[in-house]
Structures are given as C-alpha cells and as structure tokens.
Amino acid sequence: VKILFASTSEPAGRWIPALQAALPDDRFVLEPAPDVEVALVAQPPPRTFERLPHLKFIQSLWMGVDQLLANPALPRRVPIARLLDPGMIAAMTETVLAHVLDWHRLHFRYREQQAQRLWKPLPQVLAGERTIGLLGIGELGTAVGRALCARGFRVLGWSRRGKQVDGIECITDRNEVLARSDLLVCMLPLTPQTRRILNAQAFSQMPEGACLINVARGAHVVERDLVVALDSGWLTHAYLDVFENEPLDPESPLWGNPRVTITPHVAALTEPRTALPKVVENIERVRRGEAPEGLVDRVAGY
C-alpha cells in the first residue's frame, strides 16, 4: 500500500524510518499521488486531499481533529481515526497534575508573595476538601481523573452521554459541575457545542475563588470574559496551554497578568516513540477490514 505522510507540524524524519521498518512491504511517500490509499496527517499542507482520489483511510497524528474536520477538502466518506497515544495521555496527566498541585499547594500565591519579598504562610487545605471538575472524561479526562482520585481529590466528570468511571462522579448536567468545582479542567474536543463554553456566564456559576485549567482548545474560552473574572478576583488563577490565536500575540494582556500561567500548547505533544505502534496497528486493522481504533464520529465532531 502507498502511504502518504503529510504534515507541516510533525517532522517526517522522526516518523518515516521507523514506520518503514515496521511496515517494510508498504511504501511511504511525502507527496500526494493518485495511488495513495492511506494518509497520515497533522496540519497537512494545502491541496493535500484534493490530490488523493483513491484514499481509503486517514490517520490523524494528533488527538484533536477539529482542524482536520474543518478542512473543506476532507473527503466525505473516508474513515478518519484520531491518535490514541499512551505517551500523550501520560504527558497530559502529568501536566494537569502539575497545575492542580501548584494551585492546591498555593505555590501560585507564594510566587506572588516572593515577588513582594513577603513571608506569609497561608492556611493549608486538604486534597479531600477540594472538588475538581473535569469537562470531558474521554481518553484524557479519564486518565487525569484517575490520577486525581489517587491523590485524594473529589473528582466530578462531565460528558455528553454520561459514563461510569471508578472514583469519578460522572455528571451530564453542566450547571452542576460548574457550581461544585473549586477547580475546573477543560479537556473537551472543540465542536460547535463546546466552542466558547467557558464564558462570563459559566465563570459566574463557579464558586468564588475557583481556578481554571484549559488544556483543550483556545476557542473553548472567551478570553475577554476570563480576564474580567480574574481581574475582579472571582477566579484566583488560570493555567492556559491553548489560545484562540496561536502563537499568542506578544501584545496580549494575558502575558502580563499575574493570575495567568501560560504554556505554549505543550500540555501533551505527539510522541512518535509511543504513537508509532498505534499508527501501525491501525493501518493493519484497516488492511484486515476492521475498524481502526479512535474512529472519529463525524456527526458528533470528535
């Protein structure tokens, strides 16, 4: 089978030699051709799908497929799988734990105090006294939720269809999750239903003094509303990995806001060392006529 690797974000050199070694009978190419049957994509160059008339399967090299689904040239009937990468899931769990503990142990406050040369111990809160709400309990949310439960936090998980996960209180009522969460972690896919979901109304429903972690997509958050909620003191801190416009504009007021911690969309990076076996397995599944893992539901949009 001829397999196209098309990405402006993933370096081909980190993938192709290992892919070719794992699938020696297949042929990997970097330019679209009429006889390509499988495409491995992450931010493919313009005019990629237009030149693939016999495509049978698309494997995303990213977990989120919002950009891919928005591509007008995406062929309608070709199945798409998103990446389910154990290395990314582990990375996301570490990132969210790091932010949760920074907030829970009040390190964000002590950094401010250090800047003022202020020695002032603050009262300690126990993990079991904190309720953490997860927006989205899919691949990432479930792993993060389990790690937080293991640390003794109370964990709520919000999803579209409801779910059962040991230790996580699963809820489908968004108002309830917002009202009960001292700390809210957004791990939703970006769809028309979830775009701008974290807005002034949502922040006002959260308890005073709450915290937000967004590691999903920038467009989930209305940045201006967030700044108002932070500057008024209603929210104490926001950890933001993703932004409506990336890279974040050097002029953005978020950079200088002491209540915001910024990372440059690195909460979980695609990791060829752990992703490659999953990509190979999916190619083999499709070759055998089976459904790939991580099949995208185009109607739901994720």
Region of 67-75, 147-155, 191-199, 276-284 interacting with ligand NDP (CB under 6 A): 191-199
Q: What whole-number distance in Å separates Cα of residue 78 and Cα of residue 299?
A: 14
Q: What is the DSSP string of the chain?
A: -EEEEEESSS-GGGTHHHHHHH-TTSEEESS--TTEEEEEEESPPTTSGGG-TT--EEEESSS--HHHHT-TTS-SSS-EE----HHHHHHHHHHHHHHHHHHHTTHHHHHHHHHTT---------GGG-EEEEE--SHHHHHHHHHHHHTT-EEEEE-SS---BTTEEEE--HHHHHHH-SEEEE-----TTTTT-BSHHHHHHSPTTEEEEE-S-GGGB-HHHHHHHHHTTSEEEEEES--SSSSPPTT-TTTT-TTEEE--S-SS---HHHHHHHHHHHHHHHHTTPPPTTB--TTTT-
Least distance CB 233 / ligand NDP (angstroms)? 27
Footprint (CB under 6 A) of ligand NDP, residues 123-162: 136-141, 158-161
Active-site entry in 27, 105, 174, 265: 265
Q: Which of 6, 155, 185, 268 binds ligand NDP (CB under 6 A)?
A: 268
* Nearer Cβ to ligand NDP (10/139): 139
To the query of whether residue 217 is one of the catalytic residues in this protein, the response is yes
**For 41-84, what is the HEC assignment?**
EECCCCCCHHHCCCCCEEEECCCCCHHHHCCCCCCCCCCEECCC
Q: Determine the size of the site formed for ligand NDP (CB under 6 A).
A: 30
Minimum gap (Å) between residue 206 Cβ and ligand NDP:
17
Per-residue contact string for residues 39-68; x = within reach of ligand NDP by CB under 6 A: ------------------------xx----
Q: Is 177 in the site for ligand NDP (CB under 6 A)?
A: no
Q: Please indicate whether residue 105 is annotated as part of the active site.
A: no
265 binds ligand NDP per the rule CB under 6 A:
yes
Residue 302 touches ligand NDP, criterion: CB under 6 A: yes
Q: Which residue, 67 or 252, has its beta carbon nearer to ligand NDP? A: 67
Would you state the structure tokens that stand for residue 155, as one six-digit string? Answer: 């964990």
Indicate the residue among 190 and 275 with the shorter CB distance to ligand NDP: 190
Phi and psi dihedrals of 266, rounded to 5? Answer: -130, 15
Q: From the CB of 46, what's the least distance to ligand NDP, in Å?
A: 22
By CB under 6 A, which span of 145-153, 187-195, 226-234, 249-257 interacts with ligand NDP? 187-195
Nearer to ligand NDP, 62 or 108 (CB): 62
Could you tell me the smallest distance in angstroms from the CB atom of residue 163 to ligand NDP? 6
Question: Under 8 Å CB-to-CB from 191, ≥6 apart: which residues?
Answer: 66, 300, 301, 302
Could you say which residues in the range 221-260 bind ligand NDP, by CB under 6 A?
241-242
Choosing from 82, 99, 154, 217, the catalytic residue is: 217
Q: Which is nearer to ligand NDP, 147 or 268 (CB)?
A: 268
CB of 190 to ligand NDP, least distance (A): 6
Q: By the criterion CB under 6 A, which residues form the site for ligand NDP?
A: 63-64, 88, 136-141, 158-161, 163, 187-191, 193-194, 215-217, 241-242, 265, 267-268, 302
Among all residues, which ones are annotated catalytic? Answer: 217, 265
